[in-house]
Chain A
Amino acid sequence: MIWQQFANGLAIGSVYALIALGLTMVYGVLRILHIAHAGVYALGAYVGLLVFRLVPNFWFSLVLAMVVCSLAGVIVQRYLYMPLLALPRIVPLIASIGLFISMEEIFRLIAGPYIISYPADPGLGSIQWGVVRITSNQLLVFMVTLALLAILWFIMRRTKLGLAMQATSQDLEIASVMGINTGGIVATNFLMGSALAGAAGVLVGVYFNSVYPTMGSIPAYKALAIIVLGGLGSIPGTVLGGLLIGLGETMVLGLTDIPFPRDALAFIIMIPILMFRPYGLLGKE
């Protein structure tokens, strides 16, 4: 029972980590709380679903959703955030909230307010491990998340682009002085972060077999709790935070009888940790 819940929690946690990663990458370079990131995530689910209806191949829909989302991310960065960077922090925050609200409404107006199913079967089969059963969908979430994390790790640690991205997130001005094209790096952060959000949207859509306009509302703030927990801007911290919250939620609600809303739990975990570590688990001052 415990191990089954562990597997379920790990699947949810992986998706949380994917969503929050994009958010933390954006925060790392621009110091913006990109609430509309959750809108990009829902966009990914809708694009994936649309493509899947036209061409019933899961992997094709996943890739195309990631491409469309990364473009959307770059457009948001270029035309919404860039002109607002010099202004007080509350300005891009409110603009981002406005964009998120608008995106949800556009999804609702175009696709309708109902839950649409996303019956993709990547054909992985399930694994029975004693009493623990890892379903085909869970396997899919694990595989895609691991693959994306590996790619991200490779880019960040083994390429010049990754080095430039790290330098830019440490100090944008100095990086720029050192000859790094920081404008391009910021755009790359949005591109990669939004692609991750799009992948997360497709994975959640398939995992729960449902896509709906407000599917981003809960991740919008839960991802904030996760990136804060991990230390804003820290990539390993964010993965840790995502897994922690996913596991925590599933374990507490699956194994105990405490009547508590699943979605407030992230904050109940977050607030006491912040009291002792005001810059998050793996954050630096």
Chain B
Amino acid sequence: MLGGYTITVSITIGIYIILAISLNIITGYAGQISLGHAAFWGIGAYCSALLATRFGVPFWIGLPMTIAITAMIGSLLAIPCLRVREDFLAITTIGINFVVQAVFLYVPFFGGAMGIGGIVSPFSTSSFFWATLIFVLLCIALDRWLVRSWMGLALESLREDETAAAISGVDVVKFKVAAFAIGSGLAGLAGHLYAHFMTFISADDFGFPQSIVILSMIVFGGIGTLRGAILGAVILGVAPEIFRPVLDYRTLIYGGLLIFMMRFQPGGILGDQSLLPRIFRVVRQRGLAPVKSGG
């Protein structure tokens, strides 16, 4: 049905979509700028790889374990983040990314510079694609449930005005930790898939540049919206493949695109205030409004 190349790219994009959805919960909904999301992805991938290679844990048992452990570490790492706000927070998360990567690289238990190899994928490539698709759909469902729940409202109130939220009785600490726990748990899922798909991981895969790519995805698509996170992940995930013919200029195009978007559509392609959704809303309203004749 699909070619091997298409399937491989699709699985990568699926993993990116899960990462974008997970970061969108922390940064988009709860408003906590994180520039170190790849760290949580990496923690998930390393956890999954260690479980699989050292302890022989099978894929489906390793899955909930990885998610739980990553969510736990994520909420632990959220503790230093609770002390700081806004720009201090953004830089603290960069710091977490570098420290986590350094631990992977320099602690022999994590395989050092050689990384961890020999992870066995339980599926063929095409079944892996369907599994990834199911996980993406589950993440979307979780995201929808979260937004409609009381917690979604609480996170939004944190984003809009933390002090006002605290005065209104929202437990700021609890919900911030919860956002980090859910976001990093989903990043752990992405790491689990990534480790089993690549069958080899190393610390370089989870560096600060990767964090920027994930953040760019949600900002590019429209931060704080599910559709934006998905679209951003698809566009920035496909872009390296599309621009393969102009390999030498690929990164320049990417940088230029970021500047251009922020300058002219700062809400992202599908953000609530952006051009496309506004046109769409107008068209829909016109369509639904009763047509006056002879007026």
Contact = CB atoms under 8 A, between A and B. Distances in A.
B99 to A, nearest CB: 6
A1 interface: no
Interface string A89-106: 111111101111111111
Contacts of A129: none
B223 A98 contact: no
Nearest to A271: B95
A261 B87 contact: no
Give the most central of B88, B90, B255: most A CB within 10 Å: B255
Interface string A250-274: 0000000001110110011011001
Contacts of B239: none
B94 A101 contact: no
Contact of A270 (B90, B95, B212, B249): B95
Nearest to A92: B262
Given A90-B219, A91-B266, A101 B255 contact: yes
A260 B102 contact: yes
Contacts of B98: 221, 263-264, 267
A163 interface: no
Interface in A200-241: 221, 224-225, 228, 232
A268 B99 contact: yes
A101 B262 contact: no
Interface residues of B, number: 40
B102 A95 contact: no
A105 B80 contact: no
Nearest to A268: B99
B50 interface: no
A151 to B, nearest CB: 28
Residues of B contacting A: mostly: helix
Contacts of A33: 87, 90-91
B263 A84 contact: yes
B135 interface: no
A226 to B, nearest CB: 10
Contact of B252 (A83, A88, A102, A270): A102
A221 B254 CA distance: 20
Contacts of B85: 278
A88 to B, nearest CB: 8
Given A91-B266, A94-B216, A224 B91 contact: yes
Contacts of A228: 87-88, 91-92
Give the most central of A88, A103, A106: most B CB within 10 Å: A88
A80 B223 contact: no
Contacts of A94: 215-216, 219, 258, 262
Nearest to B254: A101
B80 A106 contact: no
Interface in B74-114: 80, 83-88, 90-92, 94-96, 98-99, 101-102, 105-106
Contacts of A89: 33, 86-87
10 contacts: A87-B266, A89-B33, A90-B223, A101-B251, A101-B252, A225-B95, A228-B87, A232-B87, A267-B99, A270-B92
Interface of B: 27, 33, 80, 83-88, 90-92, 94-96, 98-99, 101-102, 105-106, 208, 212, 215-216, 219, 223, 248-249, 251-252, 254-259, 262-263, 266
Given A109-B252, A228-B91, 11 more contacts: A94-B216, A104-B251, A105-B252, A221-B98, A228-B88, A232-B88, A261-B105, A268-B99, A271-B92, A274-B92, A280-B88
